[in-house]
Amino acid sequence: MNDILIPTLGPTDWRRLLGDPDKHWVRGKSAFECAVSWELARRQERGLPDNVAHALDSHDATRGARLLLGVPEHKVDIEGNGHASQNDLWALLRLPSGTASMAVEAKSGEPFDKLVAEWLRDAPINSKKPQRLEALKKTLGIAQANLDGIWYQLLHRTASPLLEAKRFNASVAIMLVQSFGGAADGKSFKDFEKFCALMACQPIRNSVALSAKKTDVPLLLGWVDCAPATDKQVAESIE
């Protein structure tokens, strides 16, 4: 994918990139809150929301990370045709030694789409979904895993930073869930924990953990709890 990018002037520039702006651009929901969070963070020295910076600092591999480039609604092509994985944000981070490719999946009460078994069941006979799933398993180092109880969105979203790490020659890949829903994201955190178990890592809220699976570059998974923006923060994000 070849893109020419234009810097944003505020959260509303994120809105036009959504698949359904009228449906998804709602205050309190993930797309809106993610945009405000990261637009505010542009004023920070490291370019990261405070809670995200704190989580990255929890691991030696990502401690001190700084934002080099952030791309809202970044699409990453997955082998096997079908839709690209559309990340709420993809970021290229500078590390003390090397760079990191990070995909951010924002949540505020929304589930992780469909279970793998349900996603496959909906496929027509000539679908390339099985090939796509095999490609994802290979990327994630889980070729022999049973994925029926895993949420499909977690698979392709986690593959995204690994694929982009290869494209940008990054030394580390990160998939970070940025939660704005509080208790409404409780079930999603349990689903995330199950996925982390599959990826052989132990998740701790507001931190990142290293997967023991064999991937092209080291892979870290994280979950960050963030508060929805206040009126003042929303106003500041568009100034």
Query: Does the pLDDT of residue 177 top 70, yes or no?
Result: yes
Torsion on CA atoms 87, 88, 89, 90, rounded to nearest 10: -10
Check pLDDT > 90 for residue 126: no
DSSP letters of 21-86? HHHH--TTSHHHHHHHHHHHHTTSTTSS-HHHHHHHTTSTTTTT-EEEEEEEEEEE--SSSS--EE
Q: How far apart are CA 75 and CA 5, in angstroms?
A: 13
pLDDT at residue 1, as a whole number: 60
Task: Report the pLDDT value the prediction gives residue 233, as an integer from 0 to 100.
Answer: 95
pLDDT computed for residue 79 by the predictor: 84
Tell me what the mean pLDDT of segment 86-100 comes to. Answer: 96
Alpha carbon distance 36, 46 (integer Å): 16
Which pLDDT score is estimated for 124? 80
In a domain, 112, yes or no: yes
What is the average per-residue pLDDT within 161-188? 97
Query: In the chain, what percentage of residues exceed pLDDT 90?
Result: 82
- H or E element: which one contains 205? none
The CB-side HSE value for 217 (13 A sphere, CA atoms) comes to 26
Is pLDDT of 3 > 80?
no
Query: Does any domain span residue 166?
Result: yes
Q: How many domains does the chain have?
A: 1
Q: What is the pLDDT of residue 99?
A: 98
Model confidence pLDDT, tens digit, residues 44-82: 999 999 999 999 999 999 999 999 999 999 999 988 777
- On whether the CB atoms of residues 181 and 201 are closer than 8 A, the answer is no
Q: What is the pLDDT of residue 22?
A: 86
What pLDDT score was predicted for residue 82? Answer: 74
CB 172 within 8 A of CB 62: yes
Instruction: State the angle between helix axes of 152-168 and 186-198 in degrees (0 to 180), rounded to the nearest 10.
Output: 60
Q: Within a domain: residue 232?
A: yes
Identify whether the C-beta of residue 55 lies closer than 8 Å to the C-beta of residue 207: yes
Range of the domain at 130: 12-237
Question: Does residue 1 lie within any of the structural domains?
Answer: no
- Closest to 94 measured CA to CA, from 127, 48, 130, 49: 48
Q: What is the pLDDT of residues 196-235, one digit of tens each?
A: 999 999 999 999 999 999 999 999 999 999 999 999 999 9
Quick: pLDDT tens for 128-142: 888 999 999 999 999
Is residue 3 a part of any domain in this protein?
no
In a domain, 140, yes or no: yes
Give the pLDDT mean for 24-33.
94
Q: For residue 201, is it left (φ>0), alpha (ψ between -120 and 50) or beta? A: beta
Task: Check residue 72 and give its pLDDT.
Answer: 96
Q: Answer whether residue 185 shows pLDDT above 70.
A: yes
- Average pLDDT of the chain is 94
